[in-house]
Amino acid sequence: MKQVFLPVVFVCLLSGCGKHNDKPGDPGTQPSPIPPINVRLKSINFNTYTYDSLGRLSQAFYSNSIVARTDYTYTKTTVTGTDFDRAGKIHPGGAVYTIGPDGLATREKYIFDPGVPALLLSFTFNAKRQLVEQVAGAEGEAPGTRVLYYYHQFNLDSLKLYSLPDNKLISYERFEYYTDKYNTIGYESYGVSFLGAGSANLLKKDIRVDYPTTTVTEYTYQFDDRNRAIASHKVVDGASVSDLAYTYF
């Protein structure tokens, strides 16, 4: 399946270290983050990635999908993802990000198909380049959802999803991490830092409450001799769901 780089559904970079905050922003005095590991992902299972001379994602190739690849082009104010089918022809759809002066995306327009309204997302970041708010809706309509992101130290601690315009809480998620393991499968490792700063540590547990249902997702990993995650195993409510293998340049 094609990987869509939306912060709310991208590779999880979320965190919770026992404490869970209820408001976005600076939680105060914090220790230094784990020193970053300069890596670029080469593949995830049968999906592969290439990068330009600046380390930015340039192409993503997909397996088992109508879309065979996405090419990324960059200007000072935009990042554009153009989809191609298996015959090498442009496939209807793709994403265009509007980039602010700080290099972060302020807006995304994702086109699923010309016959379907595009999805519009707007993003707000804090001074640490962490995403604190995402608003989404169909083009030509009022926004339908709002997500608030809450941080503790250098990880995303929890998030709350609201429906609009009634501002009703739909779901709540909180996250736990392997605090001794650096996140080598986050935004930076994909060369998409325009989506903000990823959490420092690898995700361990995701507890999601869709009132009244609670879903618990747990992750375990294998590592190479450089302490990079090379495999992950996902378990949802006690049942094995999926395995991913990672390679690096």
Q: Where are the domains of the chain?
A: 41-248
- Output the DSSP codes for 152-178: ETTEEEEEEEEETTTTEEEEEEEEEEE
pLDDT mean over 76-82: 97
Nearest to 195 by CA among 9, 2, 1: 9
Lowest-confidence range among 10-19, 34-43, 189-198?
10-19
Lowest-confidence range among 61-70, 124-133, 141-150, 232-241?
61-70
* Cis? peptide before 165, omega within 30° of 0: yes
Beta bridge partners of 61: 48, 69
* Contacting residues for 11 by C-beta, under 8 A, at least 6 apart: 185, 186, 187, 190
Helix (H) or strand (E) holding 107: strand 105-111
Q: How would you label 111-120 residue by residue, b for 16+ Cβ within 10 Å and e otherwise? A: beeeeeebbb
Fold that domain 41-248 belongs to in CATH:
Porin (2.40.160)
Higher pLDDT, 7 or 110: 110
pLDDT in tens, 166-185: 999 999 999 999 999 999 99
pLDDT in tens, 196-238: 999 999 999 999 999 889 999 999 999 999 999 999 999 999 9
- The phi and psi torsions of 124 (rounded to 5 degrees) equal -125, 135
Burial of residue 21 (CB within 10 Å: 0-12, 13-18, 19+) is middle
pLDDT for 114: 82
Nearest to 76 by CA among 101, 56, 96: 101
- Tokens representing 88 are 């090498």
pLDDT > 90: percent of the chain? 76
